[in-house]
Amino acid sequence: MNEITFESLGLNETLLSSLRTEGYLEPTPIQAETIPSLLEGRDLLGCAQTGTGKTAAFALPILQRLSLKAAKREPRAVRALIVAPTRELAAQIDASVAAYGRRSNLTRACVYGGVGKVPQVRAIARGVDILVATPGRLLDLHGDGAVRLDRVEIIVLDEADRMLDMGFIHDVKRIIALIPTQRQTVLFSATMADGIKALADTILAEPVRVAVAPEQLTVDLIEQKVMHVEKVNKRSLLVWLLKAESVARAIVFARTKHGANRLAESLTKEGIHSDAIHANKSQSQRTRTMDAFREGRLRVLVATDLAARGIDVEAITHVFNFDLPHEPETYIHRIGRTARAGAAGIAVTLCDADERPLLRAIERLIGQRVPVELDHPYALDVRPGELEDARGNARGGERANRGGRPMGGFPRQPGGGARYGRRDGAPSAERVGSGFGA
Distance separating alpha carbons of residues 127 and 433, to the nearest angstrom: 13
Q: Which stretch binds ligand AMP (CB under 6 A): 37-45, 54-62, 116-124, 149-157?
A: 54-62
DSSP H helices, 281-371, are: 283-294, 305-308, 328-335, 356-366
55 binds ligand AMP (CB under 6 A): yes
Nearer to ligand AMP, 306 or 379 (CB): 306
Instruction: Report the C-alpha gap between 215 and 190 in whole angstroms.
Output: 9
Selected from 18, 34, 37, 52, the binder of ligand AMP by CB under 6 A is: 52
Can you tell me whether residue 280 is helix, strand or coil? coil
| Selection from 204, 134, 145, 225 nearest residue 172 by Cα | 134
Is 58 an interacting residue with respect to ligand AMP (CB under 6 A)? no
DSSP 414: P
Q: Choose, by CB under 6 A, the member of 36, 114, 259, 421 that binds ligand AMP.
A: 421
- The one-letter code for the residue type at 204 is L
Distances, alpha carbon 116 to alpha carbons 144, 152, 279, 302, 314, in Å: 14, 24, 17, 26, 29
Torsion angle of C-alpha atoms 118, 121, 125, 130, degrees rounded to 10: 140
Stretch that binds ligand AMP, among 27-35, 246-254, 288-296, 361-369 (CB under 6 A): 27-35
Nearest partner of 320 among 416, 227, 252, 268, judged by Cα:
252
233 binds ligand AMP (CB under 6 A): no
Residue 36 as a binder of ligand AMP (CB under 6 A): the answer is no
Please tell me whether residue 53 binds ligand AMP under the rule CB under 6 A: yes
From the CB of 428, what's the least distance to ligand AMP, in Å?
9
> Given the rule CB under 6 A, which of 52-60, 74-82, 167-175, 272-280 is the region that contacts ligand AMP?
52-60
Neighbours of 408 (CB within 10 A): 12
Residues in contact with ligand AMP, shown as a per-residue x/- string from 323 to 352 under the rule CB under 6 A = -----------------xx-----------
d(CA 313, CA 62): 24
In the three-class reduction of DSSP (H, G, I as helix; E, B as strand; rest coil), residue 9 is classed as helix
Which of 290, 419, 420, 434 touches ligand AMP (CB under 6 A)? Answer: 420
Question: Which of 27, 61, 207, 411 lies at the binding interface for ligand AMP (CB under 6 A)?
Answer: 27
Taking CB under 6 A as the binding criterion, the range among 26-34, 166-174, 254-262, 346-354 that sits at the site for ligand AMP is: 26-34
* Separation between Cα atoms, residue 5 and residue 20, nearest integer Å: 12
Contact letters (x/-) for ligand AMP, 285-324, by CB under 6 A?
Answer: ---------------------------x------------
Q: Which residues bind ligand AMP (CB under 6 A)?
A: 24, 27-28, 31, 50-56, 312, 340-341, 420-421, 423
